[in-house]
Amino acid sequence: MLNGLRYTYPGSSSPFCLELDSLRIGAGDMLALVGPNGAGKTTLLLILGLLVRPSQGILAFFGEDPWGSDDRILRARREAVLLTHHPYLFKGTVYENVAFGLKVRRIPEAEWPDRIGQALSLVELSGVENKSAAGLSAGQTQRVALARALALRPRVLLLDEPTANIEARLALRVEAIVHEICHESGTTVVFSTHNFSQASRLGDEILYLSDGRRVPFSHENCFSGTAQTDGQRSWIEPRPGSRIVFKGTQKGHVTCVINPEDIRLFSADDPAAGQGPNVFPGHVTRLEMTEADKALVRISGGLTFRVTVPLPELEAHAVSLSRPVLIKFEPEAVGLIGPASDSPENTND
Amino acid sequence: MIVRELLLAIWVSLKTSGLAALIASLLAVPAALFLAGTDFRGKRTVLLINQTWMAAPTVVIGLLFYALLGRSGPLGRFGLLYTQTAMTIGQVFLILPLIIGFSYTALRQVDRRARLTALTLGASPRQAGWVVLREAKFALLVAVLAGFARAISEVGIAMMLGGNIRNATRNITTAIALETAKGEFSNGVALGAILLVITLGINVLVQVGLRSKE
């Protein structure tokens, strides 16, 4: 559990700051961290792995303050393992690498071969025990590092983009392993990803971070594309002529997410919509009452959006099925996921 | 120069310089580990001083310890001047910055993820420090051997603090200086060749180390 967390890099002139009011991760839960590069995902994983101490706030690890003493932090750290984005293997053989954590925990040497064999077999790397770690491919390195973590049977497994460097078939295998150890062994898993569909598929909960802060997560209005920038603003064109503008100078493949509540609806002839960026024409193709005083409206045009509209506004604009409308949202309202190594699915239908 | 004297000079060289390399390494490697793994105010100044100290002439260090260890010096009461101990102390201070500098560079080149990985796999900070040392072991070996080579080949400190006393503090380099002064050039050249063979041995060790690293 984290409360009032704040972390700034010591001695750094970078303005980056991770701030989380509260975060509770239940034992045996699987939490997905989603957000663009620099959002604070890795920093949060380092904090959860007890490798860096928060500048402010309270961190309770299985109900205890782990930073109380050197002994306590070492004991707590041995309950959690972080698998970094680009894992590091020590010089030596695969066996020596996987045995490292067992050795420092003083687990009897007689148990090593079984545990190492099982862990390597899980990641489909049986028989490479005596190979030099330096000669492995990036994908094999990733899997050996995962085996090295699994051999320790940790209570908390922290994975920083665990499938980023491996081919699709093995990525699915890694997903299956992570799912299995979480649900069968009760291991708490926190993983970061750019892959939107992976987060939805695996995570019991999803924490969406942007610029060091939690931002509301929505499955609605997700659009992917290659970002371009003019130095002040950036945009993607999910379809020719349909440009979504957002703040910042992001480049590369990104997924834009717009919260349905941040989109405003106007009649097609309403001059209040103006000519600014992110004004899209469309027709109402679905109307759905979600809460007592709100409706979810699907607007289909060049792109399809879902918009949450308060009922009085719906009546004021006389919105009805098939009626032409305009929608508008501010560039600041666009959340970003990515750049992605594999393309997230566009959940918009 | 009789054989016994020659063997004794070789022994004095190996003993004082070997001991100096050992003591300096025990001090320098932890210092380099600290410097490489910690950011603190004034670190650049410390590195600059170390680099400058590396270039200090052997006679300057010899002179400094001559003043310290001489009878009227602050450490004069220990009676260390003109002993092998004095030679070793001087050589430690000669090669200390060299081993710190080389070790610092070697440890800085170790992937920063090594320490983080060791910690997340449950290593204590001390065990993580050992991991970093182990990852740089061949480069550290080169640093130590370079320090030893520097100590065994210097003459200023050995002359000033050892005094070139026959069968006591005379080592290969001071013996060369003496033989040359006497006009016994062939003896000087022969002693020089022996020193080169020892240096060659050190280099072979370094090469073997590097090859293992590859």
> Looking at this predicted complex, what is its ipTM?
0.74
How close are the terminal C-alpha atoms of chain A, in Å?
37
Q: What is the mean pLDDT of chain B?
A: 92
Using a CB-CB cut-off of 8 Å, the residues of chain B touching A141 are none
Residues on chain A bordering chain B, Cβ-to-Cβ distance under 8 angstroms:
11, 49, 51, 74, 77-78, 80-82, 84, 86-88, 90-91, 100-101, 104-105, 148-149, 152
Contact B158, B164 (CB under 8 A): yes
Q: Tokens for B184, please give them.
A: 């016994």
Amino acid at position B89, single letter = I
Q: pLDDT by residue for chain A (349 residues), tens digit each?
A: 777 777 877 766 666 788 888 888 988 899 999 887 788 899 999 999 999 998 888 888 988 889 988 899 999 999 999 999 899 999 999 999 999 999 999 999 999 999 999 999 988 899 999 999 999 998 899 999 999 999 999 999 999 998 887 788 888 888 888 888 888 888 999 999 877 778 878 888 889 887 788 877 666 788 888 889 888 889 999 888 889 999 888 778 788 888 888 899 888 888 887 778 999 999 998 888 776 688 888 898 888 898 988 888 888 877 888 889 999 999 988 888 765 433 333 333 3
The answer to whether the Cβ–Cβ distance between A100 and B39 falls below 8 Å is no
Burial class of residue A154, CB neighbours in 10 A (0-12, 13-18, 19+): buried
Residues A52/A43, Cβ–Cβ less than 8 Å: yes
| Four-residue CA torsion sign, A317, A320, A324, A330 | positive
Given a cut of 70, whether residue B171 has pLDDT beyond it is yes
**A289 backbone dihedrals φ, ψ, rounded to 5°:** -80, 125
**Spatial separation of the C-alpha atoms in residues A72 and A79, rounded to whole Å:** 11
Q: Which domains does chain A have, with CATH numbers?
A: 2-214 (3.40.50.300), 222-337 (2.40.50.100)
Gap from B150 CA to chain A (nearest CA, Å): 30
Do β-strands A17-23 and A188-193 pair in parallel, antiparallel, or remain unpaired? Answer: unpaired
pLDDT value, residue B210? 67
Which stretches within B81-184 are classed as H helix?
Answer: 84-108, 113-120, 125-135, 137-153, 156-157, 172-181
Domain extent at residue B47:
3-213
* Contacting residues of A for B117, CB less than 8 Å apart: 84, 87-88, 90
Domains of chain B: total: 1
Measured between alpha carbons, how far is B95 from B108 in angstroms, rounded to an integer?
A: 20
Instruction: Tell me the CA distances in angstroms from A197 to A69, A211, A302, A348, one per residue in order.
Output: 40, 21, 23, 12
Q: What is the pTM of this model?
A: 0.72
Task: For residue A5, report the phi and psi dihedrals to the nearest 5 degrees.
Answer: -70, 140
- Least CB–CB distance from B39: residue in A11, A84, A105: A11
Which is nearest to A142 in space by CA: A118, A167, A117? A167
**Contact status, residue B127 vs residue B52, Cβ threshold 8 Å:** no
C-beta of residue A91 within 8 angstroms of C-beta of residue A112? no
Q: Could you tell me the two tokens for A155?
A: 């209570």
Q: How many residues does chain A have?
A: 349
Q: What is the amino acid identity at position B73?
A: G
Contacts of B122 in chain A (CB under 8 A): 74, 77-78, 81, 101, 104-105, 152
